[in-house]
Chains A and B, each alone.
Chain A
Amino acid sequence: MATNIDNLKSQMRKGMLEFCVLLLLSKGDSYVSEIISRMKEAHLIVVEGTLYPLLTRLKNDGLLSYRWEESPSGPPRKYYSITATGQSFLTELHRSWTEISQTVNHLLNENNQTTIQS
């Protein structure tokens, strides 16, 4: 049972990951390590490796683009930025997220009220 909960949690995180990456990049360009540390802060990823395939896939789908930039310390960094397609994709995701969160919040509120009443 415990594994099932973990599993469900990781599925939820996985579903949110793309949305969050797009959200982060819509605020400004960012390089991989930065994206990783932000996602880790939010406990969205457990191991870093999961992010690389995701970024590659988003890039191959045309939602992201990247460029190489010299960094003051160490090797050049891969800076990702969101494309126009990515932006409209994000708007779409945002809409469905608002719907989902409204539904979930609504249900949660109902639950709260019933628990308070009883």
Chain B
Amino acid sequence: MKKTFPVNINGKIFYIDEDAYSLLQNYLDQIHQAFGGTEGDEIVGDIENRISELFDERIAAGAHAIVYADVNNVIEIMGKPSDISDGDPKPDRQPQAESDDKTCDSNNSSNSDSVNSNVTVGKRLYRNVNNKVFGGVIGGLAAYLGWDANIMRLLYVVLSFFTYFWPLAIIYLIAWMVIPAANTPRRVLEQQGFPVTVDNIGQNVLQSTPPPYPGNNSDFSPKGVVTTIFSLIGKFCMTILGLIGSVGALVATGFFVFFLVAFIAYTCFHDIILLDFINPHFVDHVGTMVPTVGCLALMSFALCFIIPALALAWAAASYLFNYKGAAKATVFIALILETVFIVATVILFIFTDKWLYAF
């Protein structure tokens, strides 16, 4: 069983399997890279045109969806990116080099060399989603440096103890946000430093569809145990953080409601019982205008804590229960709101600086 989704190729809709799609996407990407710029756009457009025709034939022959073999077939008909770009004698390209490329290709043994000239190869830093405890940052770094991931994790924990935990935790969180995840076949190949060729991508696509590993659960190798321990520690930490977040959000909301009620009570009914409860000198100490502003300041101060606390709780929950991460728009709006609250709090507190002395 495979996931299938519709793609629009040159104005026609085809249903295509997920693995077939990523193979095709990578193939077209490579061709585009081999030519680059507007020329690449045009050639890829023409080739898409033709692919659409070829797929059309498949559908006319009775196929319901485009599968991996169909894409492979198309690539065979169209030729590998290295074959295609060979047909394009760029002015600076020596005939000698071209024939070298050709020889490599027909030997098929040192395929990477011939592709090297067209496609950038080299390890790149990605988060390792296949080997992760939290976000795969250290797994990715280990893959990048060619170290053992578990040794790096141990190193990280030890370093954390020596640096009072926070600096490294913050660095980790920033890295988690900044470093992209290796979530496409191309990225997985780049992460491991393999050349991005159609063959490699094809293999990788096949490998990345998670095969059933019946024996994997009974894997008691030391590495497996260490990973499990780290995973448990991760879950424990996330649970604590989630609890802190939830309780924090509740407390902050409670304070907000309390200040809101006090504010309404004071402005509508000139009732100062609640204000007295906050601070006995609340009204005495300052003019008549300031208590309302003070209340507003306290309200927005409470609001400042709600969003981070909720974010913490959400992050923990999404880690523990495999939720999807927050949408970008949500994060964006939350950040804007948070900024507004902080600015409002600061401004309001400046207005009530006299009142602050009352505390």
Residues of A within 8 A of B (CB): 3, 6-7, 10-11, 14, 17, 32-33, 36, 46-57, 60, 74-75, 78
Contact = CB atoms under 8 A, between A and B. Distances in A.
Given A7-B103, A47-B77, A75 B85 contact: no
A66 to B, nearest CB: 10
14 contacts: A3-B106, A7-B99, A7-B103, A17-B87, A32-B50, A33-B50, A48-B79, A51-B87, A52-B50, A53-B35, A56-B42, A56-B43, A75-B11, A75-B53
B43 A10 contact: no
A14 B93 CA distance: 15
B12 interface: yes
Contact of A32 (B35, B46, B77): B46
**For chain B, which range describes its interface: under 10, 10 to 19, 20 to 34, or 35 or more residues?**
20 to 34
B216 interface: no
Contacts of A53: 35, 39, 43, 84-85, 87-88
Contacts of A75: 10-12, 49, 52-53
Contact of A52 (B11, B52, B77, B84): B84
Contacts of A14: 87
A51 B85 CA distance: 10
Contact of A48 (B35, B77, B81, B102): B77
Nearest to B43: A52
A8 to B, nearest CB: 9
Nearest to B34: A53
Which of A7, A17, A51, A53 has its CB near the most chain B CB atoms (within 10 A)?
A53
A116 to B, nearest CB: 35
Nearest to B52: A75
A47 B84 contact: yes
B87 A7 contact: no
Given A53-B85, A75-B49, 19 more contacts: A3-B103, A7-B99, A10-B102, A47-B79, A47-B80, A47-B83, A49-B47, A49-B79, A49-B80, A49-B84, A52-B46, A52-B47, A53-B87, A55-B46, A60-B39, A74-B56, A75-B10, A75-B12, A78-B46
B107 interface: yes
Contacts of A11: 99
A17 B78 CA distance: 16
Given A47-B77, A74-B56, A57 B10 contact: no
Contacts of B18: none
B86 A50 contact: yes
Nearest to B78: A49
Given A7-B99, A55-B46, A75-B11, A48 B53 contact: no
Contacts of B85: 53
Contacts of B42: 56
Nearest to A33: B53
A53 to B, nearest CB: 4
B102 to A, nearest CB: 5
A101 to B, nearest CB: 22
For the complex of A and B, 5 pairs with smallest distance between CB atoms: A47-B79, A50-B87, A49-B84, A49-B79, A53-B88
Interface in B64-96: 76-81, 83-88
Contact of B49 (A32, A49, A56): A32
Contacts of B78: 47-49
Nearest to B74: A48
A10 B31 CA distance: 21
A62 to B, nearest CB: 15
Interface string B36-50: 000100110011011
Which of B35, B46, B78 has its CB near the most chain A CB atoms (within 10 A)?
B46
Nearest to A8: B99
B347 to A, nearest CB: 60
B88 A57 contact: yes
Contacts of A17: 87
